[in-house]
Amino acid sequence: MNSDELNKRLKQLKIEDFIWIIYIGIIILSLYSNSLERNYFLYNDYKSKKKYREILILIFSILVIVYLYFLKDSIDDIKNLRQNDSNRKKTLVYLSFIASLLIAISGFIFLFIALVDDNLDIELAFN
């Protein structure tokens, strides 16, 4: 690994560290939104319902941005493939891209559901 590749990888790791912090924040927001959802269902508290939906939209908006970052990173990996890279490496890079693309698509779908489901009829989960 040359100096440029090392610096690029270290920069990626810094970004990934930041993303882990974002995930911790999302976990905390998710726990809070679950308590709001519970209040809505138990006590018909419409303020809790509104807050829950707003937090859910925020969570999935953040996740879509994170997923798009990983999709861009996968596209960059494809662009950086060399002709002399092994077939195994090429296959894995393309599979990683497909996985990132599908995750980004799922993020957009979940965000859309959060935006249009006024009645909280659909249970949303993310991985």
Model pLDDT for residues 80-116, shown as the tens digit of each residue: 999 999 999 999 999 999 999 999 999 999 999 999 9
Confidence at residue 2, expressed as pLDDT on a 0 to 100 scale: 85
The pLDDT mean for the chain works out to 92
Confidence at residue 4, expressed as pLDDT on a 0 to 100 scale: 87
Reading the block at residue 66, the tokens are: 């994170």
Question: Which ranges of 1-127 would DSSP assign to H, the alpha helix?
Answer: 3-43, 46-79, 87-116
pLDDT > 90? residue 11: yes
Top pLDDT among 72 and 1 is at 72
Dist. CA 7–CA 15, nearest whole Å? 13
Confidence at residue 127, expressed as pLDDT on a 0 to 100 scale: 45
Q: Mean pLDDT over residues 13-23, rounded? A: 96
Half-sphere exposure of 99 (CA within 13 A, CB side): 10
